[in-house]
Structure 1
């Protein structure tokens, strides 16, 4: 996964032939292109991102949620057979995010299996049921896996199947991972919410193609030490946030943006890495679900176009693309899950922006509510700003 703190400086620019949006300007032709664009498509906003939009101040509340485990350290598993993560969980709901790559290249590159296993450490039979499920075919196309994985997770309704694990026994959490062939440099990506009724131990294992995860677990005695070089690893104390804008956004005040998962305004969540017992930082807040709410009104008759963009493209080679997925409330387009972008693999750099939704003004000028469900996109550098741009929907038809 890719993350960096936002430390860039944006310069001011004068834009000729533009429509005034108070603190910020957008060219008339660019606003027209936004209104004509299909949802999820890339639109060019020339010079728009030269001016930083106003920050939307928000309150952040931790919501009740599952025990949250992420496996992304080491991201590249260099040892042919090894445990890359091992964490104990208690009865209740669990979220597991697997983000690991077959990194074996010495003495030669070889195919591997990367799988997730849960062992029943209780004294009674464990019952396990999947609440949400997302499992991707291994690939070197990390951006596609990241946005498709979130899309499948958001769309999942889980399963009614209840599996039983005897005391002391272990099973694969995801049978697809057991069957997958992971070639060198390919990513294994799984995102799961499930519920258990006995204490358990979760392990992420790399092994050979013929050995099942539970069998490999029985013979591997050590866990790879954490290197603190990637997004994170361990059991974390936050899995869900509620983000509520403090003020009502008025279109007359110009463009404004939500910034979450930047490590500054929205700090990284903390946890414990089970093998070492030391504090762990989830750099990027990947796998954390943000339920976001914003009230807005239009005192000047304008609507709101919601876009996102790759604000990190200039930082380094790892930030040259961005792809995301989120759930957005109804506007010009219907409510639902949208992959960003959906007309190509990634967005690259400004002036490119991705149109998420267009919200028409209320005829009577009353307040409206926008709701979003967001999670930091795997494989992309953060943050991915959510920018609300006032647009004159009558004049620009």
Structure 2
């Protein structure tokens, strides 16, 4: 998400005016796709472009948790400061922490960045973790982004119930309490939990020697809201279902699904409570897309799914892309796949990452392929999902 505002501006200026056209593979690319392992990079020379015909889709808001993101500021420049503070009501909460120790004046110094939950109700609060993903602070933002998503998808939560007395704080992620965050290191946490009392979620930067509860109680300064990076605040939309009214047919050629582009798929809106301003979640990071696409093969071909770094030439921050997804069964088993799985990132065309190859039914009947997608942290958007008819023989 670093320097995301620069990426988004170029994205909106670029995508909304591009004509779309049919695209075909060059000789040898069909064979290259079939010889590539799931999650690995395949070279598709002369093929990758944002101008590929887009799938017409419908986006349905699904019931989901209150969603909070902390990425404004991304770099916390004050030694002791609150980067986010939002009130939550009883029920499910999703929290995405994406903050960096940005202290370099008067000197670079070690910090801790912690996520805290306060019981603002009158009765004891009970907390249970539904999804948990916590990464060790690192300068390797791409690895953190894709591993964080993969861990979130794989998490089954915990049966442990924690109790918080009225007016008291607990750490949402006790691992963060123990981490020492050096200058420029990213703290990345992705959580979903349920509470039964009203509460307050905060993200605090403090001296590593200070207890997290003491920091939450002592530190009062909230960094002003700047409408920068992905953003911060609380959002009522956290989950979408994506369906296509018209089935993909392999005989019609290559098509792409473009999510989180800020144009066809606008950013979700919420509120930043400290300023009282409307907040846009630029990039829809942390939003979950349950994709169910109908497809058929009236010409006997299979359907390969690839993605690529379509923003590699935008600026210095877009030189790589790394993601994670959940994909239904095809040539490869269903499950979570890191993209790419055997390298840190994909860089630029002609590199694509093979996600799955879906097999046609014996009689050409309609099938449904399924994906769980969330925009990958640290990568520039959009990350197009391209469906390519391939000859499996």
TM-score range, shorter chain: over 0.9
Deviating more after overlay: 305-314 vs 209-218:
209-218
Aligned partners of 1:24 and 1:51 also within 8 Å: no
CA RMSD of aligned residues (A): 1.4
CA shift for structure 1 position 88: 0.2
Which residue of the partner structure matches residue 208 of structure 2?
Answer: 209
CA shift for structure 1 position 208: 0.7
Which residue of the partner structure matches residue 196 of structure 2?
Answer: 197
CA shift for structure 1 position 360: 1.2
Which residue of the partner structure matches residue 18 of structure 1?
Answer: none
Which residue of the partner structure matches residue 384 of structure 1?
Answer: 383
Aligned partners of 2:306 and 2:356 also within 8 Å: yes
- Cα distance in 2 for residues equivalent to 1:227 and 1:65: 27
- Cα distance in 2 for residues equivalent to 1:315 and 1:131: 37
| Unaligned ranges ≥5, structure 1 | 13-21
The answer to whether structure 1 residue 110 and structure 2 residue 109 are counterparts is yes
CA shift for structure 1 position 53: 1.9
Aligned partners of 1:11 and 1:50 also within 8 Å: no
- Cα distance in 1 for residues equivalent to 2:253 and 2:239: 30
Which residue of the partner structure matches residue 133 of structure 2?
Answer: 134
- Cα distance in 2 for residues equivalent to 1:348 and 1:7: 22
Aligned partners of 2:114 and 2:212 also within 8 Å: yes
CA shift for structure 1 position 54: 1.2
1:73-96 CA deviation, whole Å, 9 max, x = no partner? 000000001100000000000000
Which residue of the partner structure matches residue 221 of structure 1?
Answer: 220
CA shift for structure 1 position 277: 1.1
Stretches (4+) displaced over 4 A: 9-12
CA shift for structure 1 position 23: 2.6
- Cα distance in 2 for residues equivalent to 1:184 and 1:327: 33
- Cα distance in 1 for residues equivalent to 2:101 and 2:18: 42
- Cα distance in 2 for residues equivalent to 1:177 and 1:71: 15
CA shift for structure 1 position 159: 0.2
In structure 2, relative to structure 1, the CA distance for the partners of 1:6 and 1:109 (3 Å cut) is same
Aligned partners of 1:75 and 1:100 also within 8 Å: yes
Which residue of the partner structure matches residue 347 of structure 1?
Answer: 346
1:108-150 CA deviation, whole Å, 9 max, x = no partner? 0011000000010000000000000000000010000000000
SS of residue in 2 equivalent to 1:24: coil
Aligned partners of 2:49 and 2:310 also within 8 Å: no
- Cα distance in 1 for residues equivalent to 2:167 and 2:18: 61
- Cα distance in 1 for residues equivalent to 2:18 and 2:323: 26
Which residue of the partner structure matches residue 238 of structure 1?
Answer: 237
Number of matched pairs? 385
Aligned partners of 2:251 and 2:298 also within 8 Å: yes
SS of residue in 1 equivalent to 2:25: strand
Aligned partners of 2:50 and 2:310 also within 8 Å: no
Deviating more after overlay: 41-50 vs 79-88:
41-50
1:180-202 CA deviation, whole Å, 9 max, x = no partner? 01000000000000000000011
1:198-253 CA deviation, whole Å, 9 max, x = no partner? 00011100001111221111111221101111101000121000100121000000
Which residue of the partner structure matches residue 82 of structure 2?
Answer: 83
In structure 2, relative to structure 1, the CA distance for the partners of 1:151 and 1:49 (3 Å cut) is same
- Cα distance in 1 for residues equivalent to 2:234 and 2:200: 12
Which residue of the partner structure matches residue 186 of structure 2?
Answer: 187
Which residue of the partner structure matches residue 148 of structure 1?
Answer: 147
- Cα distance in 2 for residues equivalent to 1:70 and 1:356: 28
Where in structure 2 are the equivalents of 1:338-377 lying within 5 Å?
338-377=337-376
CA shift for structure 1 position 11: 9.4
Which residue of the partner structure matches residue 336 of structure 1?
Answer: 335
- Cα distance in 2 for residues equivalent to 1:193 and 1:269: 18
- Cα distance in 2 for residues equivalent to 1:272 and 1:349: 36
